[in-house]
Chain A
């Protein structure tokens, strides 16, 4: 969990690195940060899940998937609440990067809810099939979420920031693949559950990411208040 929080903190700080980005108000920037945190959790789960260290943490992995889905849902519906004109960006004539964001949200919800033990058995023929689909959907998720973040240009405006973010996004599936090649795949049955610890870890991560997002919005408000 500390690694995830550090990674999210780094990503948020990185978006501020190009200088005086326009502040758009506390709530607007908070919702933007929630979206970035959701993408960060997805990227983190992408490479972490294939490492042997993740083996006893499958429950935490699943819980963090729900955290990512929750943050992304807050990001999308929050905008619809504070600025209803955003609904225009969910229509078929919307820019492709916004439709990519919509696809990313749908895939994230799908990949998360079909991974819960009960529904996993209902939707997939076996664990290997599930794993294959899970990886495929994860790749679609990374591409569409990356397209959305880079396409809007709201968080990463400088070309060097966009280039670096694109490189990191490309590196996520490559790292996951490398982990799998090096350490082999996870066992077919989940390891020891550590249920209470995993649940508490996910709730704590979620709360910390929301606080981090609020801090981000406050910093932007203060830094750019004179603009």
Chain B
């Protein structure tokens, strides 16, 4: 009986706490300052512009990447996943295909001050 009570109370409390932690984490992700990141257009001339600059074709607005991806509260909690999928995903794909590619794993290879052209 005691065990059943613990389960009946504990499980909803655990689910609720997890949900609250998730919401809190989204809030933290939205508000935390961005890490320094470097990007050299000169190294990406073989990639079509619209692969990254999707707003040229889907008309989601002018401006720089981070105008939306960092400042728009509806998407800014996803910034890490979106940019890692786009940048790192492409690098991994190219490296796996035996082509020259950018960083695939080390954080500080991309997360460094941007002084590239």
Chain A positions within 8 Å of B, measured between CB atoms, are 19-22, 24-25, 28, 82-86, 88-89, 91-93, 95-96, 154, 224, 226-227
What's the minimum C-beta distance from A28 to chain B, rounded to whole angstroms? Answer: 6
Measured between beta carbons, the chain B residues less than 8 angstroms from A93 are 25, 28-29, 32
- Would you call B98 and A226 a contact (CB within 8 A)? yes
Give Cα A128 to B35, complex, Å: 49
Whether a CB of chain A sits under 8 angstroms from the CB of B99 is yes
Nearest chain A residue, comparing its CB with the CB of B88: A22
Give Cα A227 to B24, complex, Å: 40
Measured between beta carbons, the chain B residues less than 8 angstroms from A91 are 32
Nearest chain A residue, comparing its CB with the CB of B77: A93
Chain B positions within 8 Å of A, measured between CB atoms, are 24-25, 28-29, 32, 35, 80-81, 91-92, 95-99, 101, 104-108, 111
Residue of B24, B95, B98, B99 ringed by the most chain A CB atoms within 10 A: B95
- Would you call A24 and B28 a contact (CB within 8 A)? no
Measured between beta carbons, the chain B residues less than 8 angstroms from A85 are 35, 107-108, 111
Q: Add 19 more A-B contacts to A28-B105, A92-B28 (CB < 8 A).
A: A19-B96, A20-B97, A20-B98, A21-B96, A22-B91, A22-B104, A24-B105, A25-B105, A83-B107, A85-B108, A88-B107, A91-B32, A92-B24, A92-B25, A93-B29, A95-B81, A96-B25, A227-B95, A227-B99
Measured between beta carbons, the chain B residues less than 8 angstroms from A82 are 106
- Would you call B92 and A22 a contact (CB within 8 A)? yes
